[in-house]
């Protein structure tokens, strides 16, 4: 059985070390990904959009710069602080809110919801379904959603059990496993700082297949329209690097 600390890994992980480890996910890539997302819509939507689990605000700022009215929500105070440290919101079109994606502090108000960079699957199956129910609840009739998730078959097939690298923080060691019983990908990350300190972090994400995701979405009233293998529109296969699902609320 997983310890409570590991079950709630997301409460402590999204900090300056996380930002450093994933620094390759930069503003330029966010600009490209936001542009692709808007092409699926045929342009900027009339109503506000929600960047669910906005992190440091890369996509929120890109969407706002493109003309969207954006609300960015995240659980991490540190990442929200980073998001606020960006240049001033383009045209005042961006607001940031701290909240939990399992219980969104909004009514039905959004033309669309974006969820980028595998910010789904953190919880048990029932709570993951609740996240999708919340997305459906806050969407206006006919509202769209875009879910950018890992492609589980490709990730599992290419899983590297252990790796290490030198960074500005010190040596970073990562161990990765797939648990076929829980169907979760587990990662333990150790940062050996140059001054001798060691910090340990954990990640655990449910590895849903494409078929499972399409079923989960349909059950909560979200109708998938297309699935892509990247955030530039490549066709989806089991070998794709990503699983990008676009759709709208069911009629």
More confident residue, 4 or 130: 130
State the DSSP string of 200-251: EEEEEEE---HHHHHHHHHHTTEEEEEEESSTT-PBP-TT-SEEEEEEEE--
Structure confidence at residue 170 (pLDDT): 87
Domain ranges of the chain: 4-151+209-249, 155-204
pLDDT in the model for residue 179: 98
Q: What would be the CATH architecture of the domain defined by 4-151+209-249?
A: 3-Layer(aba) Sandwich (3.40)
Q: 3-state DSSP call for residue 182? A: coil
Range of lowest pLDDT (26-40, 203-217, 222-236): 26-40
Give the model's pLDDT for residue 120. 98
pLDDT, tens digit (0-9, with 9 covering 90-100), for 80-120: 998 998 756 667 799 999 999 999 999 999 999 999 999 99
* Residues 178-205, mean pLDDT to the nearest whole number: 92
Token look-up 């995240």 returns: 74
pLDDT in tens, 128-143: 999 999 999 999 999 9
For 42: left if phi > 0, alpha if psi spans -120 to 50, otherwise beta; the answer is: left
How distant is the alpha carbon of residue 13 from its chain centre? 14
At 19 the pLDDT is 78
Q: Where are the beta strands (DSSP E) in 12-75?
A: 49-52, 70-74
pTM of the model: 0.92
Task: Supply the pLDDT for residue 89.
Answer: 63
CA atoms within a 13 Å half-sphere pointing along the CA-CB vector of 165: 7
Q: pLDDT, tens digit, for every residue of 141-179? A: 999 999 999 999 999 999 999 999 888 888 999 999 999
Mean pLDDT over each residue of the chain, to the nearest integer: 92
């Amino acid at each position: 059985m997983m310890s409570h600390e590991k079950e709630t890994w997301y409460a402590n992980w999204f900090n300056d070390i996380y930002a450093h480890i994933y620094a390759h996910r930069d503003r330029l890539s966010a600009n490209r990904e936001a542009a692709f997302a808007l092409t699926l819509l045929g342009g900027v939507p009339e109503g506000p959009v929600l960047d669910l689990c906005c992190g440091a605000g890369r996509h929120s700022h890109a969407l706002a710069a493109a003309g969207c009215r954006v609300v960015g929500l995240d659980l991490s105070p540190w990442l929200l602080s980073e998001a606020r440290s960006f240049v001033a919101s383009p045209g005042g079109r961006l607001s940031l809110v701290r909240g939990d994606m399992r219980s969104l502090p909004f009514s039905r108000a959004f033309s669309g919801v974006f969820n980028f960079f595998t910010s789904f699957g953190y919880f048990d199956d029932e709570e993951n379904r609740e996240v999708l129910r919340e997305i459906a609840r806050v969407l206006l009739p006919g509202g769209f959603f875009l879910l950018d998730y890992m492609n589980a078959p490709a990730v599992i097939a290419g899983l590297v059990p252990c790796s290490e690298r030198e960074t500005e923080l010190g040596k970073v060691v990562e161990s990765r496993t797939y648990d076929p019983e829980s169907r979760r990908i587990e990662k333990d990350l150790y940062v050996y700082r140059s001054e001798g300190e060691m910090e340990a972090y954990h990640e655990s994400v449910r590895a849903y297949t494409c078929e499972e995701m399409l079923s989960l979405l349909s059950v909560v009233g979200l109708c998938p329209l297309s699935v892509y293998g990247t955030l530039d529109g490549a066709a989806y296969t089991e070998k794709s690097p990503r699983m990008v699902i676009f759709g709208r609320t069911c009629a």
